Structure 1
Amino acid sequence: MKATVYKGNKTFSVIEKEIEQPVKGEVRIKVAYSGVCGTDVHIYHGMMDKRVKMPLTIGHEMSGTIDAIGEGVTGYSMGDKVVVRPLDDRGVKPSDKGFNHICEDLKFIGIDSPGSMQQYWNVPAFTLHKLKSETDLKLAALVEPLSVAVHDVRMSGLQAGETAVVLGGGPIGLLVAMVAKEAGAQVIVSEVNEKRIAKAKELGLNAVNPTKLDLIEYVKEQTEGRRADVVFEVAGVQPALDVMTEVAGIRGRIVMVAIHGQKKEIDLFKFFWKELKLIGARVYEKEDYEKAITLVTANKLPFTQMITDVQPLSNIQKVFEGIDNNPDGMKVLMNCQL
């Protein structure tokens, strides 16, 4: 079989290796597509070299079919279409209070252990979610990032008729906006990249550039002065942190989606003055995956337009170099059988 490995120094290799039989409790998946995530790009840039044990096959956004079933695995059949929820929570403790998806000893498959950017992939059966036979495997590769968006919106408590402002129009930001709109919210996307603004509009979203208009005044105009009920901070930059407390209305909820590796300045006075809530949202739970699968299977949202490119697995080095040279892109998929 063909597999890719990250070797450090912005270098991937394509190798040949033996197909392995699944051990007890595992299944082997014939991987159809594997999406390139922002975290994968961080790995490529060497930002996670202290965590990633090289050489490592990375990747966690995927779809495929069951190719072999290990001892003790029930409920699955050969050829079943599946996706993997790449959270290994076998280190869960009572102190984690039942929140296994963010347990202290959580291992992320595709970062802390081998991932999906290979032709065949052995995974624990407890990570699987079964798809319907009619599900498009190309779109199913979006289930993992879509589950992030579903989780973010669920954590926000967003209700139909409310206004949501999404700060950041990258892949996750636009998926959050799509899920929020599907839930019945009025959605405003704030993004500085004109090509991403155009993509948002192509997806049927209201998107504006905060460097070309006053975002606070715009949100007030769109809400008769009430401002936003929910703000999703997805950009991960200081200007977004500065404006999130301004566009939020009284008793608004701010969901922290972006990852901030260092301490940042936030206007805490606004939390007191408007009785705001700050909500952390990390990865996803089983119900978020099932909701995302339902959305993808129904295919009523323009998911196809989120896919920028599909490339053969053998082109992995060029794919990551291309992402560096084309930051405007949305989602690149690897065809793992080519």
Structure 2
Amino acid sequence: MTALAVRYTAARTLDTAPAETSPPGPGEVELAPAFVGICGTDLHIFHGDMDTRVRTPAVLGHEMSGRVVRVGPDVEDWQPGDAVTVMPLRWDDTCPACRAGHQHICRHLDFIGIDSPGAMQHRWTVPATTLLRLPPTLPLDHAALVEPTAVAVHDVGRAGIRDGDKTVVVGGGPVGVLIALVARAAGADVRVVEPSAHRRALARQLGLTAWNPADDDVTELVEKWTEDAGADVAFEVSGAAGGVDTAVDVLGARGRLCLVAIHPRPREINLHRFFWRELTLVGARLYDRSDFEKAIRLVADRTIPAEQLISKVVPLTEAPAAFEALEGGGDVMKILVDCTTDTADDADAAQGAAV
């Protein structure tokens, strides 16, 4: 089999092309990715928003599951056939953040799948230190949701969720719903604010209360729900200016706002509200290994019902079209790319799939 890879080549342009492979070096492991999720960051790359950071042609993908194919010299803990996921971070261990124990926000962080080649290919070589073992009972398609679940675990930890906290999640996309599920598992009483009817319906199927900001007075609903006390915690996951306003407005005295979404431009924020109610703002970026380990447990024990969150699975050569489907919104939550299908025999057809 000649390996293929999904590559970003320019704004709104993806192709599927043969990929070079070589034996893993010292401390490296070659993987056969099974399933790779398309996430919001991948869409930012697709739109051209990260061209100052991404070197083209760039192989995308960092939400993945797969199996070990080959191990490099000095790698002893892994064997061919092992089921794994990857925490896609490499840090320098020398910058102030690393020395303080915060390697995931290293000043010179290599986010694998953004700053270096990612998982959306038939063969992928990564440092053995990035691997985490998957339980044998965990289906590999479900395991592709471990990475975004680790994001949610980290976010909930940063927000300091406590049992009984009245919690509002602004934005009911994949990460927002995962935050809501992880927060609920931690004992929070959760409400989701989301304009998409499809995503609200899915949240409700998962047992969550979901409000429509276009039709519902969210602040009034929060006041009624909390007996006029306001929410204890709000997560801003929408990336929209209106989402920021909602997340601030719903908080009660000494409420905590956890900023999760990537805002590409500065936003106005009601600092008087922060002063008057003594609010706290915390940022939440990525995860550490303990977040990943907890995420594996949550997906494996079905606290995260992966099968309900996966809207569609497409073969690798159809990944470019899947990006368009996600970009258009509609009735989709999480799309996975199946990297176990297609070979270079399909490359001629794949070239026509560039978008």
Higher relative contact order (CA 8 A, sep 6+): 2
Q: Distance in 2 between matches of 1:17 and 1:192?
A: 40
Most deviating of 82-91 and 277-286: 82-91
Does structure 2 retain, via aligned residues, the 8 Å contact 1:92–1:106? Answer: no
Instruction: For residue 69 of structure 2, give the secondary structure of its aligned residue in structure 1.
Output: strand
- Paired position in structure 2 for 1:90: 92
Which residue is equivalent to 1:154? 157
Is 1:205 the counterpart of 2:229 in the alignment? no
Residue pairs, 1:165-204, within 5 angstroms: 165-204=168-207
Question: Are the aligned partners of 1:167 and 1:234 in contact in 2 as well (CA < 8 Å)?
Answer: yes
Match of 1:324 among 324, 327, 330: 327
Cα distance in 2 for residues equivalent to 1:249 and 1:295 = 30
Distance 1:178 1:89 in 2: 30
**Stretch deviating more after TM superposition (22-31 or 84-93):** 84-93
* Superimposed CA distance per residue, residues 42-101 of structure 1 (whole angstroms, 9 cap, x where no aligned partner): 111111122111111111000001111111122222211110011111354245422100
* Percentage of identical aligned residues: 46
Greater mean deviation of Cα atoms: 259-268 or 149-158: 259-268
Partner of 1:258: 261
| Residue of structure 2 equivalent to 1:50 | 52
TM-score normalised to the size of structure 1? 0.96
Q: 2:214 and 2:36 mapped to 1: Cα distance?
A: 35
Question: Which of these residues, 119, 136, 151, is aligned with residue 116 of structure 1?
Answer: 119
Q: Which moved more, 1:210-219 or 1:108-117?
A: 210-219
Matched, 1:135 2:138: yes
Q: 1: distance between equivalents of 2:211 and 2:103?
A: 37
The aligned amino acid for 2:136 is S
Higher mean C-alpha deviation, range 2-11 or range 249-258: 2-11
Correspondence list, 1:44-83, <5 A: 44-83=46-85
Partner deviation per Cα, 1:275-314 (whole Å, 9 max, x = no partner): 1110110011111101100001112432211101000001
TM-score using structure 2 length: 0.92
* Residue aligned with 1:101, SS: helix
Aligned match for 1:145, one of 120, 143, 148:
148
Deviation at 1:159, TM superposition (A): 0.9
Amino acid at match of 2:144: A
Deviation of 1:328 after TM superposition, in Å, equals 4.1
Write the distance in 1 (CA, Å) between the matches of 2:97 and 2:207. 44
Partner SS for 2:293: helix
Residue identity matched to 2:150: S
CA deviation vs aligned residue, 1:140-195 (integer Å, no higher than 9, x gap): 00011111111000111101111110011111111101111111111000111112
**Is 1:32 aligned to residue 34 of structure 2?**
yes
Most deviating of 300-309 and 284-293: 300-309
Partner of 2:13: 11
Give the direction of change, closer, same or farther, for the CA distance of 1:106–1:18 in structure 2 (3 Å limit).
closer
Matched position secondary structure for 2:168: strand
CA RMSD of aligned residues (A): 1.4
Deviation at 1:16, TM superposition (A): 2.3
Is the Cα contact below 8 Å between 1:168 and 1:190 reproduced in 2?
yes
Q: Residue 18 of structure 1: CA displacement?
A: 4.5
How many angstroms apart in 1 are the aligned matches of 2:97 and 2:337? Answer: 39
Number of residues paired by the alignment? 338
Match of 1:281?
A: 284
Q: Which amino acid aligns with 1:74?
A: E
Gaps of 5+ in 2: 342-355
Q: Retained in 2: the 8 A contact 1:3–1:118? A: yes
Which structure 1 segments of 5+ residues have no match?
none
In 2, the alpha carbon distance for the partners of 1:38 and 1:176 equals 15
Post-superposition CA distance 1:222-251 (Å, at most 9, x none): 112222111001111111222222211111
